[in-house]
Structure 1
Amino acid sequence: MSYEMNDLLELMVDQGASDLHIQVNQPPTLRIDGGMTPVDGPKLSPQDTEDLMKAITSATNQERLKTTGGADFGFAYLDLARFRVSVLRAKGNYGMVLRQIPKDLFTLADIGLPERIKELISRPRGLILVTGPTGSGKSTTLASMINWINEHMDGHIITIEDPIEYFHDHKKSIVTQREVGNDVGSFSEAIRGALRQDPDVILVGEMRDLETIEAAVGAAETGHLVFATLHTTGAARTVDRIVDAFPAHMKDQIRTQLASSIVAVISQVLCKKIGGGRVASFEIMVTTTSIAQLIRENKTYRIASDIQTGATHGMISLDAHLMSLFNRGLISPEEALSKSQNAADMRKNLIENGAKFAR
């Protein structure tokens, strides 16, 4: 028996799988609700994985795979779904991981973001960072924010992605989507180009190097609303990560720039829902005069306490949001504890709220 790529893609859609893993010596494996489920069938041979890879990988990306050992791209399967694909070589064989991109854009309420987020993403300028580990739903959150702006405000939105995941139609705004590697050479080059293209909003898919961070912060400072992602958890760590990317003699300058340009940091994790599916939990930091001062003075370790007392500004800590998901019966106490930032306090709060832990 050999596997057909189309059958596997349809199975992903039918089962609501977030990812498909193609590896030698393992049947094709779906990630469903965070858990791994192998397809009922034989293990893949090196020839199988090569055939499946070639079924969806362009000649250009196959060449990139040969020369660099990996390639990333997005593609659509009929009208059913879009996928983000990472092809790779491992132990001399081909492998792939496909991430299913939801066909429909979610509303901000669908994702679970509070109503006050709309005020933040309506700002005329500044930097909004969406952070979290790989696979935590950052792209989905950003796509929903961009879609809300597109539906409610007129202007020019430029997205810079690697690869393009969600497609945005022109609605109230004009949307220009550029793919790094196809439409433009690099993120930093695309940001610099965007400043000459009359943008109101710029989405930077990933701030992965110093040049991109500098360009993104510069764009936010010069009167544009810039969205960007980082693989960090928590507002304080996010600010530290950005500052740490700069050489010592520039750290004070970037702290001053961040203090005046960051509008908010939205940090998220995905939790397993009771009864199946997943739900996002958020930490939301909104920059106040006090937080701006902490960033300038290199006292980011004190940001967490400002978030805990900043509810009137629309802030919430990750642990408080996890607690609210538990109290609404959406996640188990074990899940809340595993995703928390302060496990000891979280355990105490859960028990006080009636949690019974499985032994």
Structure 2
Amino acid sequence: MSQEELIVEAPAPVPRRDVFAGRHDGSVLPVTGRFTRDSFDELLIWAGERKASDITFQTNEFVKAEIGSEIVRITQRPLTNDEMEDLVRYVYQTHGPGMVQAGYDLDPSHEVRIHGRQMRYRVNVTGIRIPQSTGYQITVRTLPSRPIPLADLNVEPEIIQNMRPAQGMVLVTGPTGSGKSTLLSSLVGDIVSKPNANEKVLEYSSPIEYVYDGIVDPSASVAQTEVGRHLRPHDGDGADTQESLYAYAVRNALRRKPTIILIGEARDKATIAGCVEAALTGHLVYSTTHVIGVPETLRRLVQPFPAEAKRAVGYDIMQSLRMVVTQLLFPRIGGGRVACREFMIFDSATRNAFLGKDPDDWPALARKMMLGKRAVSRTLSESTYLAYREGLLSQEHWHARVRADREAA
């Protein structure tokens, strides 16, 4: 059966509420005179009111922001290298420009207080080439104050019904900027805010993005740890890799009797193995990985392990897996973005189907099961078709996704 035949049979769509930015109104922040540190904070607040995501400050360039899936100018003029150098000192320290000139990039955080609220930002400073010298690029991303209510994300009922298994591993996947952390924090936020939640959640991330202050039920607790800052191995000498830090984080979690463990990213052998061990010992583990699609996620999980260990490790991975969700953001008709998701629920029957196959054959089996409706699942082709039927997504983007899924098969 073709992709088109499958997606025509998809159920009627549920009306969506959009939480992403709409089209930019074309306005810019007026700044008189030198662009100062106060101008920097004012611009962050101004851009946040328009739901800007990435904001880019760059020597000899207008400040630009991504608003509603478009990159737009938000200042009246470019910034000079002297102004950029002062901003680097502001977001880092006095010696920040010297470090950049020496070839280092900087990853500070930044906070702005407005109307009694503390706004948090993730910052990267990197040196760039300018004529006859070295300039600066500062990339700023807003760190939201609390998770978006799950009801506002239009999450499929199958995902909601399976988001809190008794134990196991749940993965949210997608490329950078696809809203993985947003979706995952909303799932966890919904769980810990329920009356009598009785949850002890340990999160390990770098950096911490969403925080749960003020929404956690009295019967639950959430402890958030920034790996490398709040936690590192006892013998750490400042040269710890992300692999060693996250693997150590999992071991730390197992000493603290949590009900839920949230690992910021499972991308290497040690961290994947740690997540699987935690899931198999009675915990619920949530994590993310930078990959598109359920089949490719299964491939990525076993890929880091040597060939001789894949079958044994694959058995443990499949025994622990409960759900994989991939999310992509597409340009919305009329401006803004719309989230489309691919997912598969790994109940006992589905896991048994995979356990009978070699891990190298899992991606092909996943595609076959999803297309044949042999598992509770939905493909990205189906999801984009539903968005197209609702008038949210262009036919061009729907067809492009169908072609991409065919090429991956």
> TM-score of the superposition, structure 2-length normalised?
0.78
The alpha-carbon deviation at position 20 of structure 1 amounts to 0.2
**Residue in structure 2 matched with residue 140 of structure 1 by the alignment:** 182
The alpha-carbon deviation at position 173 of structure 1 amounts to 1.4
- The 5 Å alignment of 1:98-113 reads 98-113=140-155
Partners of 1:40 and 1:95 in 2: CA distance: 15
On the 8 A contact 1:13/1:81 being kept in 2, the answer is no
Which of residues 117, 121, 131 is equivalent to 1:83?
A: 121
Residues 50-74 of structure 1, C-alpha deviations (whole Å, 9 max, x = no match): 2222222357988986787223344
**Residue in structure 1 matched with residue 395 of structure 2 by the alignment:** 333
On the 8 A contact 1:83/1:100 being kept in 2, the answer is yes
Number of matched pairs: 344
**Residue in structure 2 matched with residue 41 of structure 1 by the alignment:** 76
**Residue in structure 1 matched with residue 90 of structure 2 by the alignment:** 55
Partners of 1:44 and 1:321 in 2: CA distance: 42
Partners of 2:97 and 2:398 in 1: CA distance: 42
1:173 aligns with 2:220: yes
Of structures 1 and 2, the one scoring higher in RCO (CA 8 A, sep 6+) is 2
Which of residues 335, 358, 367 is equivalent to 1:304?
A: 367
User: Given the superposition, is the C-alpha separation of residues 65 and 326 from structure 1 closer, same or farther in structure 2, using an over 3 Å criterion?
Assistant: same
User: Given the superposition, is the C-alpha separation of residues 342 and 245 from structure 1 closer, same or farther in structure 2, using an over 3 Å criterion?
Assistant: same
1:318 aligns with 2:380: yes
Amino acid at match of 2:121: F
Residue identity over aligned pairs, in percent, reads 29
On the 8 A contact 2:204/2:263 being kept in 1, the answer is yes
SS in 1 for 2:250: helix
**Residue in structure 1 matched with residue 156 of structure 2 by the alignment:** 114
**Residue in structure 1 matched with residue 170 of structure 2 by the alignment:** 128
The alpha-carbon deviation at position 145 of structure 1 amounts to 0.8
Partners of 1:290 and 1:194 in 2: CA distance: 29
Amino acid at match of 2:152: D
Partners of 1:331 and 1:156 in 2: CA distance: 39
Partners of 1:103 and 1:335 in 2: CA distance: 32
**Residue in structure 1 matched with residue 3 of structure 2 by the alignment:** none
1:342 aligns with 2:403: yes
The alpha-carbon deviation at position 325 of structure 1 amounts to 0.5
Partners of 1:284 and 1:8 in 2: CA distance: 38
Residues 204-243 of structure 1, C-alpha deviations (whole Å, 9 max, x = no match): 1112322111111111111111011111001111111121
**Residue in structure 1 matched with residue 331 of structure 2 by the alignment:** 272
**Residue in structure 1 matched with residue 201 of structure 2 by the alignment:** 157
Partners of 1:67 and 1:173 in 2: CA distance: 47
Partners of 2:305 and 2:128 in 1: CA distance: 33
Partners of 1:267 and 1:178 in 2: CA distance: 25
Moved over 4 A (4+): 58-68, 343-346
On the 8 A contact 2:62/2:76 being kept in 1, the answer is yes
SS in 1 for 2:341: strand
On the 8 A contact 1:86/1:97 being kept in 2, the answer is yes
On the 8 A contact 2:146/2:212 being kept in 1, the answer is no
| Structure whose alpha-carbon radius of gyration is higher | 2
**Unaligned regions of 5+ residues in structure 1, if any?**
347-359
After TM superposition, the structure 1 stretch with the greater mean CA deviation from structure 2, 325-334 or 129-138, is: 325-334
SS in 2 for 1:71: coil
Which of residues 345, 350, 353 is equivalent to 1:293?
A: 353
User: Given the superposition, is the C-alpha separation of residues 71 and 40 from structure 1 closer, same or farther in structure 2, using an over 3 Å criterion?
Assistant: closer
Residues 259-309 of structure 1, C-alpha deviations (whole Å, 9 max, x = no match): 101101100100111222212100011114245433652222120221234
**Residue in structure 1 matched with residue 26 of structure 2 by the alignment:** none
**Residue in structure 1 matched with residue 263 of structure 2 by the alignment:** 204
1:2 aligns with 2:34: yes
Partners of 1:195 and 1:48 in 2: CA distance: 48
The alpha-carbon deviation at position 94 of structure 1 amounts to 2.6
SS in 2 for 1:323: helix
On the 8 A contact 1:291/1:303 being kept in 2, the answer is no
The alpha-carbon deviation at position 158 of structure 1 amounts to 0.5
After TM superposition, the structure 1 stretch with the greater mean CA deviation from structure 2, 182-191 or 52-61, is: 52-61
**Residue in structure 1 matched with residue 278 of structure 2 by the alignment:** 219
Partners of 1:62 and 1:179 in 2: CA distance: 25
**Residue in structure 2 matched with residue 20 of structure 1 by the alignment:** 55
SS in 2 for 1:260: helix
Amino acid at match of 2:275: A
Amino acid at match of 1:98: V
SS in 1 for 2:324: strand
User: Given the superposition, is the C-alpha separation of residues 48 and 250 from structure 1 closer, same or farther in structure 2, using an over 3 Å criterion?
Assistant: farther
The alpha-carbon deviation at position 195 of structure 1 amounts to 0.5
Amino acid at match of 2:392: L
User: What is the root-mean-square deviation of aligned Cα atoms in Å?
Assistant: 2.5
SS in 1 for 2:302: helix
Which of residues 256, 262, 279 is equivalent to 2:321?
A: 262
Amino acid at match of 1:293: A
SS in 2 for 1:70: coil
SS in 2 for 1:44: coil
